[in-house]
Amino acid sequence: MATTESTVLQFSQSSNTLSAKVHPLVIFNICDCYVRRPDQADRVIGTLLGSVLPDGTVDIRNSYAVPHNEFSDQVALDIDYHHNMLSSHQKVNPKEVIVGWYSTGMGVTGGSALIHEFYSREVANPIHLTVDTGFNNGEGTIKAYISVNLSLGDRQLAAQFQEIPLDLRMIEAERLGFDILKTTSVDKLPNDLEGMEASMERLLALIDDIYKYVDNVVEGHVEADNTIGRFLADTVASLPKLSPAAFDKLMNDNVQDHLLLLYLSSITRTQLSLAEKLNTAAQIL
């Protein structure tokens, strides 16, 4: 009895542990480039810079926009500009290499495969980062993708974008700016004191949650968790032992120093503005 060989469609194996971590500077830079884009451009495309950590995580730390033109299903990138910007960035930080590319908009579009193919020649297995600057879901959605090849036997047919885990790690000051950035509208940007007030309110809310948890454990309403207990003990032990009066004095001194810096910066701006006006008047006379 003759046997027949069957050819099946299959996806190339990709790393299941591949993930990405993006710094807030990258998101702010992408949004700034989107605001400054040409009037005829619908989206912004650019290069992602960073490194691959020992655990395989792609650490995205920097980016720059690349001029491009799109015509239906065709995309033209300014490759010379891309290479010149890459050379300039690596002169400042040679450890940053190309790790992928980004585009603004909601998800993957038809021309993304062409751009991804170009970056695949620049680096193996590039990351595709998308930033929804149109707030289609009420906030700026950020996703990361990799390309998985669909093949028929030994012949490659197409590529499919597969979403990978994306981690946004930032300090409290960066999180305040990111929370404002991802909302659809804000009345005004908070100053330093308002940002500090928002951080303190969030800290007090977290402390209240801890108080409630500890009280529930002591009263037997919640089962104790040793991991949480050790974490709370380490946190309390790391705090400096200051009396309330010493803490108030330290806090007031820091606030006064901050207000003094604001006052000096305001005087400097006023002096520079006055000097510019005097210089203009002297040139006219």
- pLDDT single digits (tens) 212-257: 999 998 988 888 888 888 988 888 888 778 888 888 888 888 888 8
How does 109-131 read in b/e, with b if 16+ C-beta sit within 10 Å?
Answer: bebbbebbeebeebbebbbbbbb
Mean pLDDT of 47-71: 88
**Hey, what's the torsion of the CAs at 150, 156, 159, 162, to 10 degrees?**
40
The CA distance from 115 to 117, in Å, is: 5
Q: What band does 8 get if pLDDT is binned at 50, 70 and 90? A: very low
For the chain, percent of residues with pLDDT exceeding 90: 9
The CA distance from 144 to 162, in Å, is: 8
What does each C-alpha distance from 8 to 155, 161, 222 come to in angstroms? 11, 20, 54
For the chain, percent of residues with pLDDT exceeding 70: 80
Task: List the single range of 69-78, 137-146, 175-184, 194-203 with lowest mean pLDDT.
Answer: 175-184
The CA distance from 116 to 229, in Å, is: 47
- pLDDT single digits (tens) 114-171: 888 888 888 888 998 988 877 666 666 788 888 877 666 666 666 678 888 888 877 7
Closest CA to 133 of 32, 207, 220: 32
The domains found in the chain, sorted by start residue, are 20-168 (3.40.140.10), 190-238 (no CATH)
* Contact assessment for residue 132 and residue 175, using Cβ atoms and an 8 Å cutoff: no
Residue 109, pLDDT above cutoff 80: no
The CA distance from 233 to 47, in Å, is: 44
Q: Is 7 helix (H, G, I), strand (E, B) or coil?
A: coil
